[in-house]
Structure 1
Amino acid sequence: MNICVFLSAADLDDRYTGPAREFAELLGKGGHTLVWGGSDAGLMKVVADAVEDSGGRLCGVSVEFLQHKARPSAHEMVVTKDLAERKAELLARADAIVIMVGGTGTLDEATEILELKKHGLHAKPVVLLNTAGFYDGLKEQFRRMEAEGFLPLPLADLVFFAEDGVSALAYIEEAGGIR
C-alpha cells in the first residue's frame, strides 16, 4: 500500500523523532511504500531512513525550489513545479494519508486533504498521528466544528486521531487504503 505521510522537514527532538521512526519501521516491515515530500532533511529524513532500513520503498514528491534537498536514494522521485501540484501528486499516489507533526506547511496539507474528503473528492483513510499530544488543540477545534454544525459529516468519517504508530497503521490496514 502507498502511504502518504505529511510531516516536517525540521530537525526535532526525540519526543517526535522516536515515535515517527517507530511508525516508519512498521510501515517498512509491512512492505508498504512511503510517499512523502522527498526531503532528505529533518523528520522527513528520519522517516525515510527507517522505512528504507526496514525494507519499505520510497516514493518522493519534491518541488522545484526544494529539489536540492531531495533524497538521492529514493526509489522514485517526482519533481513538481509548485506546492499545489505537489499536494495533488502526493494525494494521487496515496492509498492512505498520515499527518505527523509539522508546521504551517503540514497544517495546510492536512486541511486541504480533509476539505477534499469532506466534499467526496477522495475516500482515502486519513490519520492524524497525535504524537506527544501535538494535535490536541486541533482535535478540540474539530470537535467544536462538529458540535456547532460546521462539518457536513461526522468527524470520525473525516479523520482518525491515533496516539501511536501501531494504532495509525492498524486503522489504515483495516480501512484497506481506499482509492
Structure 2
Amino acid sequence: MTAPLSVCVYCGSRDGTDPAYAEAAEALGAAIADHGWRLVYGAGDVGLMGRVARTAQAGGAETFGVIPTHLLQREVGKRDLTSFIVTETMHERKKVMFMNAEAVVVLPGGAGSLDELFEALTWRQLGLHAKPVFLLNVNGYWDKLIALLEHVVASGFAGDDLLGFYSVVPSVEALAEALEKV
C-alpha cells in the first residue's frame, strides 16, 4: 500500500475580509479528506489554518502539524492532530513542513504565507526540489502577486522559468484535479 499524498498548505492565521477565503479553506480541508490525502500545515487552530485542519479532521484525514515553540507558548497550536511537531524556529518549521509533503498549496494569507511561498519558489529556483506549488486564487486574491512576479521576470531579475515554478488554480475543484496528477 502506498502512502497517501501529503499536501502542505500555507495560509493565513486570520480569516481575512472575504467570506470566500474561509469557504475555500474549508472546501480544501474537505477535499483533502475526501481524497484520502494527508494535510501538512503550520499546526494553527486559528484563521484559515484552523479551518483547513478542522474540516480535514472532521472528514477523517491524517493531519501533520508543525509549530515553533514561541507560537505554542501563545496557545495557538492545534494539539489534537495525528502528528504534532514542535520546532525551535520558524525556519525549522518551514523545512519540516516542506520536507514532509509532495505538493504545496498556498491559500490567501499574510506575510508568513508569503514567506513560505517565496522560500518554496527560491528552493525550486536553486534546484533543491521539483514539487508542484499551487496558488489557490480565491476571488483573484493572488492576481497582484502574479503581476509582480511577471514584472520581476520582465525587469530581468529572474528567468522566465520562475513563472513555471507555480500553477494558479481558480477553485478547490480545479486544485483537487491537479493534485490527483501529482
TM surpasses 0.5: yes
User: Offset of 1:142 from its aligned partner?
Assistant: 1.4
User: Offset of 1:156 from its aligned partner?
Assistant: 4.7
For residue 11 of structure 2, what is the amino acid of its counterpart? Answer: L
Counterpart in 1 of 2:97? Answer: 90
Out of 145, 165, 170, which is 2:152 matched to?
A: 145
Is 1:25 matched with 2:30? yes
CA distance in 1, matches of 2:66, 2:79: 12
User: Offset of 1:147 from its aligned partner?
Assistant: 3.2
- Where 1:154 maps in the other structure, the secondary structure is helix
Out of 110, 121, 129, which is 1:103 matched to?
A: 110
Deviation digits for residues 44-102 of structure 1 (CA, Å, limit 9, x no counterpart): 11110111112211100011011122112100000000101111111111110001111
Counterpart in 2 of 1:136? Answer: 143
Verify the 8 A CA contact 1:114 1:158 in the aligned structure 2. Answer: yes
Out of 116, 130, 139, which is 1:123 matched to?
A: 130
CA distance in 1, matches of 2:101, 2:107: 15
Verify the 8 A CA contact 2:53 2:63 in the aligned structure 1. Answer: yes
Verify the 8 A CA contact 1:6 1:100 in the aligned structure 2. Answer: yes
| Corresponding residue pairs, total | 175
Counterpart in 2 of 1:2? Answer: 6
Q: TM-score, normalised by structure 1?
A: 0.92
Point out where structure 2 has 5 or more consecutive residues left out of the alignment: none
User: Offset of 1:165 from its aligned partner?
Assistant: 0.9
For residue 27 of structure 2, what is the amino acid of its counterpart? Answer: E
Point out where structure 1 has 5 or more consecutive residues left out of the alignment: none
For residue 158 of structure 2, what is the amino acid of its counterpart? Answer: L
Verify the 8 A CA contact 1:118 1:153 in the aligned structure 2. Answer: no
Q: TM-score, normalised by structure 2?
A: 0.91
CA distance in 2, matches of 1:59, 1:76: 5
CA distance in 2, matches of 1:158, 1:49: 29
Verify the 8 A CA contact 1:118 1:152 in the aligned structure 2. Answer: no
CA distance in 2, matches of 1:173, 1:125: 12
Deviation digits for residues 8-43 of structure 1 (CA, Å, limit 9, x no counterpart): 111335221011211221111000010000011121
Query: Superposition pairs for residues 68-87 of structure 1, below 5 Å?
Result: 68-87=75-94
Verify the 8 A CA contact 2:7 2:37 in the aligned structure 1. Answer: yes
